[in-house]
Amino acid sequence: MRMRSPLLFLIFLAAAALIAADAPFDWPRARELFQRSQSGAQLTPDEQKIVDEAKRRVAAGENPNGSPQPPPAPAAPSAAGSTPVPNIDMEKARALFQRAQSGEKLSPEDQKYLDEAKRQHNQGGPRTPGGQPQQNQNPPPPPPQNLVPLTELTGKYQDQDGGLYGGGKNDPSPELSARAQQTLAQIRPLDANGKPSADGRIVLVSLGMSNTTMEFSTFKQLADNDTHKAANLVIVDCAQGGKTAAAWAGNDQPWEVAVDRLQKAGVSPAQVQVMWLKEANAGPSTGWPAATDQLRDDIRTDIKRAREKYPNLRLIFLSSRIYGGYATTRLNPEPYAYEGAFAVRSVIREQPADGPTLLWGPYLWTNGEKGRTLDGLKWVRDDCGTDGTHPSKSGQEKVAHLLLDFFTNNPHAKPWFAKPS
């Protein structure tokens, strides 16, 4: 879910306090539009012209107060001769490498990203436009120490009660359980046109950002080698690095990549019936409840679009983020990682009467090494990568095992996930 942006461009735009007298230009507006485009929003043609004009002015040496600006030192080209990515997410690159090593053919976009990661790694890591090693900017404040897992919250947090489903309850209400049972009865093997077929497939996909694809791709390897998995179940990782909740909501590109992955797996969008959705937004800064409300609205839009792309989507399991207290950047630190669960809960509790049934998947958050009372889950520093936000190999495996246990045993997942006993 990492956003990448040209560093000097952001520096110039962030300094936009004055407008050049000889060439009036709305630099604050340009900065706002640029940030929206980097989060995945689609700009109108007129808005894109503003961003393009800002880039042209920066490239020409102009800064917001009108004084000349020396051009940045040119960056070394990548091994493939393409424009290098300035801020490579090495944890995402590791996940891509693992997928490639397992025999999966990467998309051209993913292969390009992996190649650039290798190039930067061989040259000592990512660099600034001036050629210096990239350093973390504006580290987040220390995480709150009093956060309690939603599954064990007996008091209030920001006037919100505990329980995955609210009211201290971690199981769906009788009404939601009954709806889920009706949904289960509709899940059956389908052919490529979405018609019931004895030799058809049930497809489980993921939707989310870098953390999601790192965890789900590891889960897929576990599940595909598990003897309990149903023979007609096909698992396809459609989550993608950098594709935040906002990006899926406002951009067609991740959906196109998802369809390409389905085709490479030998299945079609019409065969997708179950989804694991785990999302967040990058760089939240508006605090409670604004950031949580925005995430809630973006997830709702993601689900609406998923219904359009996957006409037979029946069941969506949602999870919130892992612990973010080790974060060294503001990509998605605490308490935003914790508060994302309340966005998920709102989406589930206020789900429309029609469309796929929404249920909680595994709840992944716990307060670091304090652990959870109910199952002992802990997140130690080694479970996270160098940025403290993405899962390391052990973190990926931890989530993968939680997913496998959930789908193998949950009453709303076991009937279609596991072989008949």
Is the pLDDT confidence value at 258 over 80? Answer: yes
Handedness of CA 379, 385, 387, 391 (dihedral sign): negative
* Low-confidence winner among 98-102, 143-147, 250-254, 277-281 (lowest mean pLDDT): 98-102
Is the pLDDT confidence value at 172 over 60? Answer: yes
pLDDT at residue number 27: 72
* Low-confidence winner among 14-28, 38-52, 214-228, 237-251 (lowest mean pLDDT): 14-28
Quote the tokens at residue 10: 């952001």
pLDDT at residue number 83: 45
For the chain, give the percent of residues with pLDDT over 70. 76
Burial zone of 119 (CB within 10 Å; 0-12 exposed, 13-18 middle, 19+ buried): middle
| Residues 115-132: tens digit of each pLDDT | 777 666 554 444 444 444
pLDDT band, residue 108 (cuts 50/70/90): confident
Residue of 354 and 4 predicted with greater confidence: 354
pLDDT at residue number 81: 41
Q: How far apart are CA 50 and CA 54, in angstroms?
A: 6
Helix (H) or strand (E) holding 317: strand 315-319
- b/e for 86-117, b at 16 or more Cβ within 10 A? bebbbbbbbbbebbeeeebebbeebebbbbbb
As a residue count, the chain comes to 421
Residue of 66 and 28 predicted with greater confidence: 28
* Low-confidence winner among 1-10, 93-102, 268-277, 343-352 (lowest mean pLDDT): 1-10
Q: DSSP 3-state assignment of 293?
A: helix
| Residues 226-245: tens digit of each pLDDT | 999 999 999 999 999 999 99
Q: DSSP 3-state assignment of 358?
A: strand
pLDDT at residue number 40: 57
pLDDT at residue number 53: 76
Cβ neighbours of residue 198 closer than 8 Å, sequence gap 6 or more: 189
Cβ neighbours of residue 260 closer than 8 Å, sequence gap 6 or more: 107
pLDDT at residue number 73: 36
pLDDT at residue number 78: 38
Is the pLDDT confidence value at 204 over 80? Answer: yes
Is the pLDDT confidence value at 71 over 50? Answer: no
* Low-confidence winner among 89-98, 238-247, 344-353, 367-376 (lowest mean pLDDT): 89-98
Q: What is the CB neighbour count within 10 angstroms for residue 385?
A: 22
Rounded mean pLDDT of 198-227?
97
pLDDT at residue number 363: 98
- pTM recorded for the entire structure: 0.73
| Residues 215-226: tens digit of each pLDDT | 999 999 999 999
